[in-house]
Structure 1
Amino acid sequence: MTDDSNHPRPPRDSGPNLYDQVAEETASVVIRRYSTSFGLASRLLAPPVRRHVENIYALVRVADEVVDGGAADAGLDPLAAARVLNDFERDTEAALDCGYSTNLVIHAFARTARATGFGRELTQPFFESMRMDLVQTEHDAESFDAYVYGSAEVVGLMCLATFLQGSTVSPAELARLEHGARKLGAAFQKVNFLRDLSADFETLGRSYFPGVSVESFSEADKTRLLEDIDSDLRDSAAVVPLLPASSRRAVALAQGLFTELAVRLRATPADRLVTSRVRVPNPVKLRIAAGALAGRTPRTTLSSRTTTPKAAS
């Protein structure tokens, strides 16, 4: 036991203490190790906003590992993974209430949630979607919409809360921004489903898109799915100019990267999509980043692309 009389605690203020700082540094490491595209986009966020967004995505990433990666690698069966996920959710909710957790990622997330004003109304559907991954391998239209809302759209709403911290917007403006945030989250998720068709089916045994069979995936299937993604990207791009300057360029970059992915998915034959993963080459990412940095408005439709890229594998 240490002698606290020789090491008096500094007075607490409203800013982060050492534990808070370590928690947020942990969140930053988690997300940067898992996502290079996220790391690129996050550099365009103002530092306070970047910290909050990293805190959100770190918790999302850890929860995803419970259902898709680390838990299975450790030998946990779905029932054991479900117990871990339930414990993770309970710890998150407790931290939302009290502002503290011994889990550094949860602690960082709770700091952001409490500071920016969201809570269980967004975390509960998120964890419910994560639980669906443990028990459900196929979806109908209703369960697909519920899954996309909980796994992606609510994350967009969490991020929007951080973007708007300290801003005043009218109810009508907020409704437009929330619609755009949900649509961008949905587009991200659907693009990733499409580029991961083979891996999701062969490795995880999942088929997310209703009525789509990986074994018989066709050009018609691909076109139909991309038209839906195109609609989401149009809606989300329309509200990017309404965002505060502290987040606008980063969101424009994310919008641009996923629009480019959708363009490349459209250019890739359906039979190749089920055997390879489409990527955006680094030089193209840098070009899109330069455009976002210069304040150029992201494309609002896939058809605005006048050239057809080579399909990336």
Structure 2
Amino acid sequence: MRTDTEMASQRAARRASSFDMAMRILAPPQRAAMFDIYGFCRAVDDVADGDMAPQQKCAALERWREEVDACCAGAAPAHLRSLACHIKAYGLAREDFHAVIDGMLMDAQASPICAPPAATLDLYCDRVASAVGRLSVRVFGMPPGDGILLAHHLGRALQLTNILRDIDEDAAVGRAYLPRELLLDAGIGPITCSWGARAIAAHPSLPAACTGLAAQACGHYGEAHAILRRQSAACARAPRLMGAVYQALLARLVARGWDHPRAAVRVGNIERIGILLRHAFV
């Protein structure tokens, strides 16, 4: 029987081929750990984005927190035994799993995130992306100091790229993750309770806010690259590959622009193969 995290990791691989491509170049034990970590992330994300009532979502996420605690205490439930083995083998921190759950709780509330203050967006990015990075760098074997720095910068770069890619998809469910300050600077607002995500997504001044957020993402990519340059090839290969795919996606988004209506953007298979060849074997 497949565990919950195994099934979720397989769904994650189907939905995020850049992750799958990066993980396939790891040694088998690392690959197994990463797929279970991302399986956990997909499982809790499915709760936050599911059809349950907000109170039920929060209760389900708190049950995940209890099960993570059980894994860390050596009493893992049957469906998380493989994840528990990776927690022990790589010294994965309970606090980072908790942070991911806390990020999902932000998405599970009755009122969707809409034009959050910059500090709230940064906290969200830390929880849903950089916390995953902190788990990942332990599996990659990166030195602790640089590992935490890489998780900080690359996690935020990837998440900001996702936000810029998914503006219309998020607006359809009432979410708008672009920070309030950039929106106001672009002339969108004042943001009040009457504002909705769809109105923000369709606003003619939105491109200016997106340009500002893209610049922040580029800054984080630059910091991440500087950290990766001083790592061994074995530690840096997978995060370098994933970062390159997402940076290519950001470049395509910038080239397309953010005027409404926006065409979907993706990194094609040929470009992905080129990125793989450039980064996987260095």
| TM-score (normalizing by structure 1) | 0.77
Corresponding position of 2:190:
none
Give the whole-Å Cα distance in 1 for the aligned partners of 2:22 and 2:102: 28
Say whether the 8 Å CA contact 1:163–1:247 is kept in structure 2. Answer: yes
Say whether the 8 Å CA contact 1:24–1:51 is kept in structure 2. Answer: no
Out of 82-91 and 284-293, give the one that drifted further. Answer: 82-91
Once the two structures are aligned, what percentage of the paired residues are identical? 27
The answer on 1:124 being equivalent to 2:112 is no
**Larger Cα Rg: Structure 1 or Structure 2?**
1
Give the whole-Å Cα distance in 2 for the aligned partners of 1:178 and 1:79: 33
Which amino acid letter does the alignment assign opposite residue 160 of structure 2? K
Return the match for 1:277 from 254, 264, 274: 264
In the TM superposition, 1:77-92 aligns within 5 A as 77-92=53-68
How many residues matched? 260
Deviation (angstroms), 1:27: 5.9
Deviation (angstroms), 1:26: 4.6
Corresponding position of 1:153:
130
Say whether the 8 Å CA contact 2:103–2:127 is kept in structure 1. Answer: yes
Say whether the 8 Å CA contact 2:22–2:239 is kept in structure 1. Answer: yes
Deviation (angstroms), 1:62: 0.6
The answer on 1:232 being equivalent to 2:231 is no
Corresponding position of 1:7:
none
SS at the partner of 2:78? coil
The answer on 1:109 being equivalent to 2:83 is yes
Q: Give me the CA root mean square deviation.
A: 2.2
Which amino acid letter does the alignment assign opposite residue 177 of structure 2? Y
The answer on 1:208 being equivalent to 2:208 is no
Say whether the 8 Å CA contact 2:8–2:43 is kept in structure 1. Answer: no
SS at the partner of 1:270? coil
Out of 136-145 and 210-219, give the one that drifted further. Answer: 210-219
The answer on 1:142 being equivalent to 2:119 is yes
Deviations 1:145-199 (A, max 9, x none): 11111111010010001111xx7x4xxxx32331122211111111001100011
Return the match for 1:191 from 153, 161, 175: 161
The answer on 1:29 being equivalent to 2:6 is no
In the TM superposition, 1:23-102 aligns within 5 A as 26=7, 28-68=9-49, 71-72=50-51, 76-102=52-78
Say whether the 8 Å CA contact 2:34–2:136 is kept in structure 1. Answer: yes
SS at the partner of 1:275? coil
5+ residue gaps, structure 2: 184-199
Deviation (angstroms), 1:248: 2.2
Deviations 1:216-268 (A, max 9, x none): 25332121111100000001111223334334222221111011011111101
5+ residue gaps, structure 1: 1-18, 296-313
Return the match for 2:246 from 258, 262, 266: 258
Give the whole-Å Cα distance in 2 for the aligned partners of 1:25 and 1:56: 10
Give the whole-Å Cα distance in 1 for the aligned partners of 2:76 and 2:98: 19
The answer on 1:181 being equivalent to 2:151 is yes
Say whether the 8 Å CA contact 1:177–1:242 is kept in structure 2. Answer: no
Relative to 1, partners in 2 of residues 1:244 and 1:163: Cα closer, same or farther, differing over 3 Å? farther
Return the match for 1:291 from 273, 278, 281: 278
Give the whole-Å Cα distance in 2 for the aligned partners of 1:222 and 1:29: 32
Deviation (angstroms), 1:93: 1.4
Say whether the 8 Å CA contact 2:8–2:42 is kept in structure 1. Answer: no
Deviation (angstroms), 1:287: 0.6
| TM-score (normalizing by structure 2) | 0.85
Deviations 1:100-128 (A, max 9, x none): 2222xx33322222221122221222111
Corresponding position of 1:309:
none
